[in-house]
Amino acid sequence: MGELRLMKGNEVIAEAAIRCGCDAYFGYPITPQSEVMETLMDREPWNETGMVVLQAESEIASIHMIYGAAASGKKVITSSSSPGISLMAEGISYIAGAELPCVIVNVSRGGPGLGTIQPSQADYFQSTKGGGHGDYRLIVLAPSSVQETNDFVELGFKLAFKYRNPAMILTDGVIGQMMEKVVLADYIPRLTDEEINEKYGSWATNGRKANRQRNIITSLEMDSVKMENNNLRFQEKFAQMEEEDVMFEEIQCEDADYLLVAFGSSSRICQKAVDLAREKGIKVGLLRPITLFPFPKKPIAVLAKKVKGILVVEMNAGQMVEDVQLAAGCAIPVKHFGRMGGVIPSPGEVVAALEQKLIGG
């Protein structure tokens, strides 16, 4: 068993990045995630593992630093919060278009605009539907605990390298700021240049070797037929993700008459709401999507045939509810309950919404 610690969600991102053999972090301060870079700078991983940590001049620069380092075959991570992710959208689209692996953490806050520094889940659309220009998807992992935040850093890299596609950890100010016990991972050494050549030599731009052609990393293709083929290849990857890498958790769904669907911090609130509802005699289950893309369509479709109605609980105006409606079909009502602007719903509010919107009376 690994080392047990009491840590904040934001701190554990830094610790997990160091331990999983990350080559670099590039970022820019923004609340509520600044502890990520602060922890890294305090840990001085350049002395320990050789990991580079750089405070960039903007989120725009951060994500393009990620592009450059990722394109040379390095394992790189950045973090930000909602307005900063909007600034990164250009670079994320380029990274997806150039098929580069990296991990991007969004400790999301309320919007739109400068919004609020309080937690929110209003970036669901931005995270799962692309966010920048063009047809691309991110692999989106939504942790609901500090432990999962830790685990998803390495998982994010595994998936990002499997598909050569950026992975996002979509968390929020609740999970980023709260402290929980966490079992840290063991250290994985950073790859050597030789190992990078061996594993990623077919594409990594780390200097043209005598034994290979030059590598070119670009998202540009002027021939529209070739560009369409690039897009078809991307779509194949996204379809493969939906086949192989969907993750979700079902809680008390076996006998459920009603189903809650919630991710991240909302799912923690809904776990309590399930208990409260069951105390009142309402058989409620919870389905927690862990990967928001690929979305757990199939388990929702299966449960939609068993329950009388679904309540999607999100800290936004109703975003994931659209995906749940698509997955569930039209046979049963699928309703949304949400709070916005940084307000966190209570379990009691969730039960009340369930009674009002689905059960009636």
Partner 1 sequence: MELKDIINPNNLVYEKPKLITENTMHYCPGCSHGVIHKLLAEVIEDLGIQDKTIGVSPVGCAVFAYNYLDVDWQEAAHGRAPAVATGIARTNPDKVVFTYQGDGDLASIGTAEILHACNRGENMVVIFVNNGIYGMTGGQMAPTTLIGQVTATTPNGRDVGRNGYPLKITELIAQLPGTSYVTRQSVHTPATIRKCKKAIAKAFQAALDKKGTSFVEVVSTCNMNWKMTPVKANEWMVENMFPFYVLGDLKDSSKTDPASYTPLKN
Q: 75 with 191: CB under 8 angstroms?
A: yes
**Binding status of residue 98 toward partner 1 by CB under 8 A:** yes
- Strand duo 76-80 + 24-27: pairing: parallel
**Interface with partner 1 includes 23 (CB under 8 A)?**
yes
Contact 289, 198 (CB under 8 A): no
> C-beta of 164: minimal distance to partner 1 in Å?
15
Do the Cβ atoms of 19 and 5 come closer than 8 Å?
no
Q: Coil, strand or helix: which one is 353? A: helix
Is the CB of residue 155 less than 8 Å from the CB of residue 116? no
Minimum Å gap between C-beta 221 and partner 1 is: 11
Say whether residue 77 binds partner 1 (CB under 8 A).
no
Q: Which run of H or E residues covers position 159?
A: helix 146-163
Among 60, 227, 246, 352, the residue binding partner 1 under the rule CB under 8 A is: 60
Candidates 202, 214, 254, 330: give the one binding partner 1 (CB under 8 A): 214
CB count in 10 Å sphere of residue 179: 13
Exactly one of 65, 159, 262, 274 binds partner 1 (CB under 8 A); that residue is 65
Verify binding: residue 43, partner 1, rule CB under 8 A: no
List binders of partner 1 among 170-209 (CB under 8 A). Answer: 205-209
Selected from 4, 6, 42, 46, the binder of partner 1 by CB under 8 A is 46
Q: Which helix (H) or strand (E) holds 15?
A: helix 9-19
Q: Say how far apart CA 159 and CA 289 lie, in whole Å.
A: 17
Q: Does 89 bind partner 1 (CB under 8 A)?
A: no
Residue 230 makes contact with partner 1 by CB under 8 A: no
H or E stretch at 66: helix 59-71
Q: Which stretch binds partner 1 (CB under 8 A): 10-18, 90-98, 151-159, 175-183?
A: 90-98
Distance CA 298, CA 296 (A): 6
Identified binder of partner 1 from the candidate list 10, 33, 39, 72, rule CB under 8 A = 72
**What is the three-class DSSP state of 330?**
coil
Minimum Å distance from CB 29 to partner 1? 15
Q: Which is nearer to partner 1, 65 or 313 (by Cβ)?
A: 65
90 binds partner 1 (CB under 8 A): yes
Nearest alpha carbon to residue 97 among 136, 68, 69, 126: 136
Residues that bind partner 1 (CB under 8 A): 23-24, 26, 46, 50, 52, 54, 56-58, 60-62, 64-72, 74, 76, 90-91, 94, 98, 205-210, 214-220
